[in-house]
Amino acid sequence: MTNIALGRYIPTNSIIHRLDPRIKIVNMLLLMIAIFLPARFAGYGVIGIIAVSLVLLSRLKFGFILKSLKPVMLMLMFLLVINVFVLRTGYVVINLFGLLVYSDALFQTAYIVVRLLLMIMITTLLTATTKPLDLTLGIEDLLAPFKRFKVPAHEIAMMISIALRFIPTLIEESQRIMKAQASRGVDLSEGKINEKIVAILSLIVPLFVSSFQRAEELADAMEARGYSPTSIRTRYKQLKITMKDWISFALVCLILASVVTLAWFV
Amino acid sequence: MSIIEIKNISFSYNNTDLALSNVSLSIPQGKYVTIVGHNGSGKSTIAKCIIGLLQTSQGEIIVDGLPLNLENVDEIRSKVGLVFQNPDNQFIGSTVRDDIAFGLENHRIDPKEMDGIIERFASAVGMSEYLNFEPTKLSGGQKQRVAIAGALSMAPQILILDEATSMLDPKGKAEVNDLVKQLHEQTNMTIISITHDIEEAYQSDVVYVMNEGQVLDYGHPHEVLAQEALLKSIKLDIPFALKFKYALKSVGIDVPQTTLEGMVEHL
Amino acid sequence: MIIDVEKLSYEYSPNSVFAYHALKEVTTSIKEGSFTAIIGATGSGKSTLVQHFNALVTPTGGSLVVDGKRISANEKVKELKPLRKKVGLVFQFPEYQLFEETILKDVMFGPLNFGATQIEAQDIAQESLNRVGLDSSFYERSPLELSGGQKRRVAIAGILALRPKILVLDEPTAGLDPEGSASMMALFQDLNKSKTTIVMITHDLNHVLNYATDVIMLDQGSVVFEGSKDDFFNETNLHEGYGLVKPPLLELRSYLKAKNITFDDHTLDLDKLARSIKEGQRHD
């Protein structure tokens, strides 16, 4: 469980870590928009340089970022093959045993690969430099203006933070259940398909049952302590925006502007 | 002067069997009260009824002069701190700090003052060094102490411990019981402990004995819990000190005292 | 000796920052037919030790022999499934493992996993449920309807249905009220009389006092005592400290000693104790 690279927080305590989560989320969204503008390699080049600089600033290792790409490698290979067969425009780049490979096929695939790479870099940067709870606070504050449109910003944030709090507890519990059922002869490596289904149920059902009971007890405890999602409440953790946050925001806006220019005015 | 008056309440979980049947209780202010009974006697249902988590089908509950109803329930909840049985399922925050803060947030305390309050109450329960710890790194006893800190931070007049030590190991039980004893001695908070531990009940000021959703007897533990036949009939045992007293009696030694130390002194 | 443990070591997450030695070269044994209590503070390694008995965990150092089967560190364990049947392990708060639609089906789950036919499993399940005091009216009910104590008995029936030679229990009375606790211990005592070796992890020294024949005490991954229950209480002071709580009988003995009152300090029975005080008084 602790080996999942994607989404994990890495405390390298860089300047990026110290930026306000709200600014980081907004910056990320703006950079994502930039990635999808049709600015071709020039645009990707700009974003790429920025992304690499950010990774350097965050003191994360490049290997870590590349590990996050692993899951999509297979899909990208598949995509390349499909594009080679389907896209037959542009000039012929190479002749592979009678199969003509066109330039557009290669370029289009390259664009997708680059976009994916940049997207993963940016999102990994966000999750690696921001504690999950700070992210939640950021999301809550950013969604707050939408409360007038009935978006339950606070409730969403509360649900996320409770879920985060219980993930390690649930992992421990599932391990205990697995051991208990293994002691009753559950062995997922053998057995016919229907036996395996019962075995899996013996792991999932107890987890569900205990989660429902847990939810009920939690709700009682929360109510007993005066909680009501609709009432006004104060918040212990306060977020503060400082100069470096505004500077980073300004820089990202500048980048977006340059990419827009490259996309349509160059 | 009773701080909680419970008059003729009844409650059923499934509309068939009564978990509480016409129960009346009077909790004297400032005392350490225990409610004992075996599991299923109805004792745990009472705590939830007092703060309106469960709605009784009849009777009334008055807390510090306020009748329990929709208007008063929030105020009553701030007067009563409740610590539940499962240490994990009442720990809401991601760290000790955040968990104590939860109650403060609900009561709209100014965020600038929260740190001071959190540190004060963490210190009161002996958890100052654990403020930034996550719950998975804490023992059951530690988590329950955090729950008590959270309850205390609301300055309640009444603290109810609903089987708060049932799921703890002996070390955790001792930590929590010592803390509660300390609170009883140093404050004038009313403490209600719902338990099946007869030794704990023996140390309290007033004990209520429950069975099958009804109150069988109540009064000073040294008298109430000396009724061997009564306790055995509801599947409870008498406190060890009394067992010793009766064992001595059966060999012809009479000891008037009711505590172990007292009896040994006498000998 | 039905279980022999030789210099058993277990390390969590070796070669990482989280490496932790739960067991350090533990050498001990369990007598066949005994009622052995394993005690020690939380974190002393008790659970890790017993999880070796049914090969849920395998040693990182040393070895153990369970009813003739040797499990050594760095050797792949072959055919460990039969061991899971011979050594029934009941975890703490076992009621959390119930999952089937009916109680009978849940108890049948174990035997079915070990190759019993539906009929065989049903018979064994009914027998096991009766053993734990749940009659036929419970068979078709959902396990979720029951009280905590009843659910626990269903879970234990589920392990008894494996007909284990050795029954390992991790704090079986945790959270139960005195009556629930007493009837549970009576069940284990009964099983022990029918030749099942019982290994019980417990924090309750009263249970050790009243039911155990032998005691193994662990502290921070090492054995600090192994021997008979009588020796444990009478010959050592180990029941003080180590995160254990003294049973009231022993508290009483301390008070009596402190006040120089003559009594038989080798008895663990309250009535005998009272009589010995009377005797002592007559002599003074």
Instruction: Kindly indicate the confidence band of residue A1, based on its pLDDT and cuts at 50, 70 and 90.
Output: very low
**Residue extents of the structural domains in chain C:** 35-47+81-245, 247-284
Q: Do A209 and C114 touch (CB under 8 A)?
A: no
**pLDDT for the residue numbered C284:** 65
Longest dimension (CA), chain A: 75
Q: Taking 90 as the threshold, does the pLDDT of residue C12 lie above it?
A: no
DSSP string of chain A, one letter each residue: -TT--TT-------TTTTS-HHHHHHHHHHHHHHHHSS-HHHHHHHHHHHHHHHHHHTT--HHHHHHHHHHHHHHHHHHHHHHHHH---S-EEEEETTEEEEHHHHHHHHHHHHHHHHHHHHHHHHHHHS-HHHHHHHHHHHHGGGGGGT--HHHHHHHHHHHHHHHHHHHHHHHHHHHHHHTTT--TTSS-HHHHHHHHHHHHHHHHHHHHHHHHHHHHHHHHTT--TTS----S------HHHHHHHHHHHHHHHHHHHHHHT-
Pick from B38, B170, B264: which is nearest to C245 by CB? B170
A197 and A69, same structural domain? no
Interface chains of chain C (3 or more CB pairs under 8 Å) = A, B
CA B10, distance to chain mean position in Å, is: 20
Q: Do C147 and B247 touch (CB under 8 A)?
A: no
Residue A189, both tokens: 């490596």
Query: CA–CA separation, C59 vs A258, rounded Å?
Result: 61
Mean pLDDT (chain B) is: 91
Q: Note whether B223 contacts C: Cβ–Cβ < 8 A.
A: no
Phi, psi of A92, deg, nearest 5? -80, 125
Pairwise pLDDT comparison (B170 vs C153), residue with the higher score: C153
**pLDDT for the residue numbered C239:** 66
Mutate to test the interface with A, among B105, B109, B131, B152 (most CBs of A within 10 A): B105
pTM: 0.88
Q: Note whether B136 contacts C: Cβ–Cβ < 8 A.
A: no
The long-range contacts involving B235-240, CB below 8 angstroms and separated by at least 24 positions, are B235/B38, B235/C177, B235/C178, B235/C179, B236/B36, B236/B37, B236/B38, B236/B196, B236/B198, B236/B209, B236/C178, B236/C179, B237/B198, B237/C178, B238/B198, B239/B198, B239/B199, B239/B201, B239/B202, B240/B199, B240/C248, B240/C249, B240/C252
Q: Taking 60 as the threshold, does the pLDDT of residue A207 lie above it?
A: yes
Please give, rounded to a whole number of angstroms, the shortest distance from the CA of A29 to a CA of chain B. 27
Interface chains of chain A (3 or more CB pairs under 8 Å) = B, C
Pick from B167, B171, B235: which is nearest to C42 by CB? B171
Q: Do B260 and C177 touch (CB under 8 A)?
A: no
Instruction: Please name the residues between 138 and 177 in chain B that touch chain A, using a CB distance below 8 Å.
Output: 150-151, 154
Pick from A173, A185, A206: which is nearest to C99 by CB? A206
A131 and A71, same structural domain? yes
Residue range A117-146: mean pLDDT, rounded: 89
Q: Do C158 and A184 touch (CB under 8 A)?
A: yes
Q: Do A226 and B84 touch (CB under 8 A)?
A: no
Instruction: Kindly indicate the confidence band of residue A3, based on its pLDDT and cuts at 50, 70 and 90.
Output: very low
A105 and A33, same structural domain? yes
Pairwise pLDDT comparison (A109 vs B123), residue with the higher score: B123
Residue range C194-215: mean pLDDT, rounded: 92
* Share of residues in chain A with pLDDT > 70 (%): 97
Q: Do B74 and A238 touch (CB under 8 A)?
A: no
Sheet holding C20-30, edge to edge: C20-30, C3-12, C61-66, C69-72
Query: CA–CA separation, B74 vs A225, rounded Å?
Result: 9
* Share of residues in chain B with pLDDT > 90 (%): 70
Residues of C in contact with B247 (CB under 8 A): 270-271, 273-274
Residue range B97-112: mean pLDDT, rounded: 94
Mutate to test the interface with C, among A183, A189, A197 (most CBs of C within 10 A): A183
Tell me if C189 sits within 8 A of C211, measured CB to CB: yes
A108 and A30, same structural domain? yes
Pick from B199, B251, B264: which is nearest to C275 by CB? B251
Total domains present in chain A: 2
Q: Taking 60 as the threshold, does the pLDDT of residue C251 lie above it?
A: yes
Residue range A220-228: mean pLDDT, rounded: 94
Q: Taking 60 as the threshold, does the pLDDT of residue A4 lie above it?
A: no
B21 to each of A1, B10, B26, B67, C177, how far by Cα in Å?
50, 5, 16, 20, 21
- Least confident stretch, A59-73, A183-197, B71-85, C172-186: A59-73
Please give, rounded to a whole number of angstroms, the shortest distance from the CA of C198 to a CA of chain A. 16
Please give, rounded to a whole number of angstroms, the shortest distance from the CA of A5 to a CA of chain C. 17
Residue A171 included in any domain:
yes
Nearest CA in chain A to C163: A184
Number of A:B CB contacts under 8 A? 81
Residue A11 included in any domain:
no
A166 and A81, same structural domain? no
Nearest CA in chain B to A172: B136
A214 and A99, same structural domain? no
Instruction: Kindly indicate the confidence band of residue B108, based on its pLDDT and cuts at 50, 70 and 90.
Output: very high
> Model ipTM?
0.91
Residue range B160-182: mean pLDDT, rounded: 92
Residues of B in contact with A162 (CB under 8 A): 92
Q: Note whether C121 contacts A: Cβ–Cβ < 8 A.
A: no
Mean pLDDT (chain A) is: 86
Pick from A214, A233, A234: which is nearest to B89 by CB? A214
A117 and A137, same structural domain? yes
Tell me if B12 sits within 8 A of B167, measured CB to CB: no
Residue B46, both tokens: 């009472």
**pLDDT for the residue numbered A6:** 55
Q: Do A225 and B102 touch (CB under 8 A)?
A: yes
Residue range A9-36: mean pLDDT, rounded: 89
Number of A:C CB contacts under 8 A? 58
Pick from A227, A232, A234: which is nearest to B110 by CB? A234
Q: Note whether B40 contacts C: Cβ–Cβ < 8 A.
A: yes
Q: Taking 50 as the threshold, does the pLDDT of residue A65 lie above it?
A: yes
Residue A93 included in any domain:
yes
Please give, rounded to a whole number of angstroms, the shortest distance from the CA of C120 to a CA of chain B. 35
- Residue C63 pairs in a beta bridge with C6, C72
A contact set with B (CB within 8 A): 133, 161-162, 164-165, 168-169, 172, 213-214, 217-218, 220-228, 231-238
CATH 3.90.1420.10 fits C35-47+81-245, yes or no: no
Q: Note whether B244 contacts C: Cβ–Cβ < 8 A.
A: yes
**pLDDT for the residue numbered B150:** 96
Summarize pLDDT for B7-62 with one digit per residue, the tens. 999 999 888 888 999 999 999 999 999 999 888 888 889 999 999 999 999 999 99
Query: CA–CA separation, C87 vs B235, rounded Å?
Result: 33
Q: Note whether C85 contacts A: Cβ–Cβ < 8 A.
A: yes
Residues 6 or more apart in contact with residue C143 via CB below 8 angstroms: C98, C99, C100, C102, C103, C106, C151, C154
Mutate to test the interface with A, among B49, B80, B83, B94 (most CBs of A within 10 A): B94
Q: Do B264 and C256 touch (CB under 8 A)?
A: yes
DSSP assignment letter at C45: S
- Residue B27 pairs in a beta bridge with B4
| Three-state secondary-structure class, residue B47 | helix
Residue range C97-111: mean pLDDT, rounded: 94
Tell me if B232 sits within 8 A of B219, measured CB to CB: no
Please give, rounded to a whole number of angstroms, the shortest distance from the CA of B3 to a CA of chain C. 29
Pick from A161, A217, A237: which is nearest to B89 by CB? A217
A196 and A139, same structural domain? no
Tell me if A130 sits within 8 A of A24, measured CB to CB: yes
A167 and A56, same structural domain? no
For chain B, helix, strand, coil in percent to 5 are 40, 20, 35
- Least confident stretch, B212-216, C3-7, C265-269: C265-269
Phi, psi of C169, deg, nearest 5? -125, 130
Instruction: Residue A259: give the domain boundaries.
Output: 21-145+240-264
Residue range B83-95: mean pLDDT, rounded: 94
Q: Note whether B266 contacts C: Cβ–Cβ < 8 A.
A: no
Q: Taking 80 as the threshold, does the pLDDT of residue C159 lie above it?
A: yes
Residues 6 or more apart in contact with residue B85 via CB below 8 angstroms: B44, B162, B163, B164, B166, B167
Residue A49 included in any domain:
yes
Please give, rounded to a whole number of angstroms, the shortest distance from the CA of B212 to a CA of chain A. 23
**pLDDT for the residue numbered C140:** 93
- What structural domains does chain B harbor? 2-236 (3.40.50.300), 237-267 (no CATH)
- Per-residue burial over C65-104, b = 16 or more CB atoms within 10 Å of its CB, e = otherwise: bbbebebbeeeeeeebeebbbbbbbbbbbbbbbbbbeebb
A57 and A171, same structural domain? no
DSSP assignment letter at B137: G
Nearest CA in chain B to A165: B94
